């Protein structure tokens, strides 16, 4: 049992959990929309109130403090959570009633961004996924659901695999204790490397 799991298991019903610093990757959102010829696009990177396959639910307002202190351009726009493949810049990141809405611009001077743009325009890729650190969560022992109340958003990636039941973007996460950005990058790479394994085990649930 990890230190993180012990912290969660010791929580009483409805009590706040002060989690150790850690970084997670979560696939939860809606299909990308309005992908333009010049590389502009928008969509939802996270949906509020949806219980994902890891028994987590992002609460409305979870990103509020982070977005107040961090401009959209400070949140990285990556391909498959890989820090070696930045694709452009986020121009707008906001919370609305549905979730975390984002608008980005691909840098079409970058070869990988041109490839991803073509895939997005054809509909072959339409997923968004967030990379974040949990700052505050609340566990309901009766349901086993962890409500994510305060998150520090590090990056939003364009991704391939849809695994969230009832949506076309997934709800898979990978956790790793990390002290800062260099270790976060390694954790993100490990998460991306495990996508194929998770996909194969959840194939019947893909939409």
Structural domains in the chain, sorted by start? 15-202 (3.20.16)
Q: For the chain, what is the radius of gyration of the CA atoms?
A: 16
Span 98-123, pLDDT tens digits = 999 999 999 999 999 999 999 988 88
* φ and ψ at residue 111, rounded to 5 degrees: -60, -45
Separation of alpha carbons 94 and 104, rounded Å: 12
Catalytic residues: 81, 129, 155
Residue 45 structure tokens: 């990177």
Contact 1, 10 (CB under 8 A): no
pLDDT of residue 95: 97
Q: Which of these, 203, 168, 172, lies nearest to 29 by C-alpha position? A: 168
Burial class (CB in 10 A: 0-12, 13-18, 19+), 97: exposed
| Beta strands, E only, the chain | 16-17, 23-26, 40-47, 56-58, 76-79, 82-95, 99-106, 127-140, 145-159, 175-176
Q: What percent of the chain has pLDDT over 70?
A: 61
**For residues 202 and 104, which has the higher predicted lDDT (pLDDT)?**
104
Instruction: Round to whole Å and give the CA distance between 197 and 18.
Output: 31
Residue from 111, 79, 100, 76 nearest 90 by CA: 76
Residues β-bridged to residue 51: 57
Nearest to 153 by CA among 78, 97, 87, 76: 76
Across 6-15, 80-89, 90-99, 150-159, least confident range:
6-15
- pLDDT tier at 52 (50, 70, 90 boundaries)? confident
What pTM was estimated for this model as a whole? 0.68
Q: What 3-state class would DSSP assign to 157?
A: strand
From 30-34, 52-56, 97-101, the region with the lowest mean pLDDT: 30-34
Res 31: pLDDT: 57
């Amino acid at each position: 049992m990890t230190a993180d799991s012990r912290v969660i298991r010791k929580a009483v019903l409805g009590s706040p959990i002060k989690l150790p610093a850690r970084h997670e990757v979560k696939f939860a959102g809606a299909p990308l929309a309005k992908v333009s010829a010049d590389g502009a696009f928008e969509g939802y990177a996270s949906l509020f109130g949806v219980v994902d396959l890891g028994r987590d639910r992002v609460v409305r307002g979870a990103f509020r403090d982070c977005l107040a202190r961090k401009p959209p351009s400070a949140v990285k726009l990556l391909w498959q959570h890989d820090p070696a493949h930045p694709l452009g810049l986020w121009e707008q990141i906001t919370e609305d009633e549905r979730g975390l809405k984002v608008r980005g611009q691909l840098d079409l001077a970058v070869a990988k961004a041109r490839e991803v743009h073509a895939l997005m325009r054809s509909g072959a890729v339409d997923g968004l996924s967030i990379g974040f650190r949990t700052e505050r969560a609340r566990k309901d022992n009766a349901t086993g659901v962890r409500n994510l109340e305060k998150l520090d958003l590090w990056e939003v990636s364009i991704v391939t695999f849809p695994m969230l039941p009832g949506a076309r973007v997934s709800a898979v996460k990978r956790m790793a204790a990390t002290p800062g950005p260099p270790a976060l990058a390694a954790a993100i790479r490990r998460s991306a490397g495990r996508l194929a394994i998770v996909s194969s085990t959840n194939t019947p649930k893909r939409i």
